Structure 1
Amino acid sequence: MTTEESILNKIQILITNHFQTPEMAFNFFDEDNDQKLTKAETVKLLKDAEISGFIRGIVSSKLIEGYDKNGDELIDWEEFKTAISKIKKSDS
């Protein structure tokens, strides 16, 4: 399992164990209710997913870089769904 797969797996475990749906997880971490996850909100998600504090900032930046399709340096719901679908595909 690559590091990316390991991180995505931990995010999936967090979402599955603590939220009824991915949308509920997204809304929980979207603290300012602007329908976008900032870097700080993404770091909180990673912290709750038990990603090491040492790499959390780097991972957050890479997630945003990898999934932010409109270039606003935020993760909106559609981009979050794309990340979630990648998690589900890596399970199969």
Structure 2
Amino acid sequence: MSTKDDILNKIHLLIATNFSSPKDAYNFFDEDGNGKLNKNEIVKLLKEAEISGFIRGMVASKLIEGYDKEGDELISWSEFKAAVDEINEKK
């Protein structure tokens, strides 16, 4: 399994065990309530998912790069849902 798959699996596990839905997880990590996840909020999600502190910042940047379709360097709910759907497809 690749490192990306490992990270996505840890995020899936975090969401599945701690939240009633992906939307609840998204809202929880959207600390400023602006409807978008910024890099700091994503880093907190990765910390909760037990992603190594050494790579959290880099992983957050890569997640934004890979899923930010709007080009605003933030992750909207629809972009987050697309990532969750990708994780679920691999299950």
Which TM class, normalised by the smaller chain length?
A: over 0.9
Give the match for residue 87 of structure 1: 87
- Find out whether 1:45 has 2:38 as its counterpart: no
How far apart are the structure 1 equivalents of 2:11 and 2:64? 14
C-alpha deviation, 1:85, in angstroms: 0.4
Paired position in structure 2 for 1:57: 57
- Paired letter, 1:27: N
Whole-Å Cα distance in 2 between the matches of residues 2 and 90 of structure 1? Answer: 12
Residue equivalent to 2:33: 33
CA RMSD of aligned residues (A): 0.3
C-alpha displacement of 1:56: 0.3
Structure 1 segments unaligned to the other structure (5+ residues) = none
Q: Does 1:74 align with 2:54?
A: no
Q: CA deviation at 1:51?
A: 0.0
Question: Residues of 1 paired with 2:90 and 2:76: CA distance?
Answer: 21
- Higher-helix-fraction structure: 1
Number of equivalenced pairs: 91
User: CA shift at 1:90, angstroms?
Assistant: 1.0
Please state whether the residue corresponding to 2:46 is helix, strand or coil: helix
Deviation readout 1:56-87 (Å, 9 max, x if unpaired): 00000000000000100000000000000000
- Give, in whole Å, the separation in 2 of the partners of 1:32 and 1:56: 20
Residue 18 of structure 2 corresponds to 18
TM-score computed with the length of structure 1 as normaliser: 0.98
Structure 1 moving runs of 4+ over 6 Å: none
Give the share of equivalent positions with the same residue, in percent: 63
Q: SS at the partner of 2:54?
A: helix
Task: Give how far 1:52 is off.
Answer: 0.1
